[in-house]
Amino acid sequence: MRMTFVATAVVAGWVGFGGAANAQYPVYDSSNFGQAVQAVATAAKELAQLQSQLQQMRQQYQMFTNPTNVTGMFPALNAPFLQNPMPSASAIPGQITGSANTLSGAGQTFYNQNHVFIATGTDPQAGLLNRSAIATANIQGMAAANLASIEQRLANLNAMQTELQNATDIKQVEAINGRIAIESNAIQGQQAQAQNLAALASAQAQAEQQAAQQSIRQGHEQAAALFTGTLN
């Protein structure tokens, strides 16, 4: 009887121990494993998208922060003749009054077409006639050079607008707009120069008229003095 009880207890203990040991082994669940793999794949895809967006943001940032050589666009517009076709301010008085008796390159064409006679006398009227012809030709030459520069700038502005329509990124658009702004300001400056030149030409015409009247008056006074001298 006692032996039977002991055997029964041993069997019961072994069964209980074995049951506890079997509970420590993991149970494989295929559905949970598949969900975990899918979650990792989704996270990797989202990470790749974030990296792509970051790269695009970096490129856009560089577009706005990297300097662009705006004046390097359309380099033909950087020619000195287009930058300022007018002579220096210090040279303008001599050209407008004809006192230097030198013709500018642009004025030579107008002088050749307009003058018909060169006075050879040394009297004031002869000098005035010769200087007036030179002055008028120089003024015409300056006006023509300024007009040619404005025409070329306007033609390039049209080309810039075409480039602007065909621009492919923000940086290019901003660069073209910057150059257009520079050229627009330059044209406004040249228009102001043209207005100043017109004012100078008008004043010079009045000065020549006064000089002609003074010359006539001088001749009268000299004749009167000569006549008075003969009476004495």
The reported pLDDT for the residue numbered 232 is 65
What is the mean pLDDT of the segment spanning 181-209?
Answer: 87
The reported pLDDT for the residue numbered 187 is 84
* 206: pLDDT strictly greater than 70: yes
- Per-residue pLDDT reduced to its tens digit, 47-103: 778 777 777 766 655 555 555 565 566 777 777 777 788 888 888 888 888 886 788
Task: Return all residues near 27 (Cβ < 8 A) that are at least 6 apart.
Answer: none
Task: Return all residues near 82 (Cβ < 8 A) that are at least 6 apart.
Answer: 76, 149, 152, 153
* 118: pLDDT strictly greater than 60: yes
Q: Where are the domains of the chain?
A: 126-232
The reported pLDDT for the residue numbered 60 is 59
pTM exceeding 0.85: no
Residues for the chain: how many in total? 232
The reported pLDDT for the residue numbered 140 is 92
